[in-house]
């Protein structure tokens, strides 16, 4: 039973490029959360999605950031025109839902470095 | 929304001693309190959790206690070992449609 899979593990982009981060939830999980972690800080909520729906994006910047979780395939966090301040570790978590939304299982993260 | 405070930010203990990490939360309606362990270069891993209908839960060397009146909960690790060295995060419901709001983390260092 594979856990939450994220790729790539490391992503290097130059300022102005686009970054695409992928997350495949655990088998049977239909709820996906994206969190951002800066060095020496905790995890900050960005967005919560279910299949084909964004449920809560209150933690995601209004510009340049978007997320999707299509009917088929992984969830994608997309950052357009990256800036140095976007450099961080991005973690995806999934949950079984159905009253167990709090029980989150995390992937290994994508470390984004913007040059 | 929920606000979770965690302390200390760094904790150094001798191998074999106990470690205690404390968290407070703000929303009295919160009813689920997990603890995550994050090793270098890895994602957070759930190590223990507690629901508000119990005051204590134990799993081998780790335990969590909850004081709902005071709105705080603690992680206790006994007989610490080198592999316990990591960053530990507490959390409480909040932060997006019943997801989790996290504390800022405690860097636990086990000294040989």
pLDDT by residue for chain A (115 residues), tens digit each?
579 999 999 999 999 999 999 999 999 888 999 999 987 778 999 999 998 899 999 999 999 999 999 988 999 999 999 999 999 999 999 988 766 566 889 999 999 999 9
Separation CA B97–CA A48 (nearest Å): 7
Separation CA B23–CA B37 (nearest Å): 15
Given CB atoms, is B7 within the 8 Å cutoff of chain A?
A: no
Given CB atoms, is A63 within the 8 Å cutoff of chain B?
A: no
Short-list A32, A39, A89, CA closest to B105: A39
Tell me if A102 and B43 make a contact (CB, 8 A cut-off).
no
Tell me if A56 and B97 make a contact (CB, 8 A cut-off).
yes
């Amino acid at each position: 039973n594979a856990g939450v899979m994220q790729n790539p593990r490391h992503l290097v982009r130059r300022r102005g490029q686009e970054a695409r981060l992928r997350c495949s939830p655990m088998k049977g999980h239909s709820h996906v959360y994206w969190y951002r972690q800066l060095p020496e800080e905790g995890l900050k909520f960005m967005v919560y999605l279910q299949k084909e729906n964004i449920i809560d994006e209150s933690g995601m910047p209004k510009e340049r950031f978007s997320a999707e979780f299509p009917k088929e395939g992984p969830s994608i966090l997309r950052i357009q025109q990256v800036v140095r301040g976007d450099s961080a570790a991005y973690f995806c978590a999934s949950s079984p839902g159905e009253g167990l939304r709090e029980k989150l299982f995390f992937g290994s993260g994508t470390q984004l470095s913007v040059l | 929304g929920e606000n979770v405070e965690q302390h200390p930010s760094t904790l150094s203990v001798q191998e074999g001693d106990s470690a205690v990490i404390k968290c407070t939360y703000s929303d009295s309606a919160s009813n689920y309190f997990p603890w995550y362990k994050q090793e270098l270069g890895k994602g957070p891993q759930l190590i223990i959790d507690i629901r508000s209908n119990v005051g204590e839960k134990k799993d081998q060397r780790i335990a969590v206690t909850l004081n709902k009146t005071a709105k705080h909960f603690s992680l206790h690790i006994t007989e610490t070992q080198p592999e316990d060295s990591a960053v530990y995060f507490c959390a409480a419901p909040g932060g997006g449609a019943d997801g989790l709001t996290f504390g800022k983390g405690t860097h636990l260092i086990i000294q040989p």
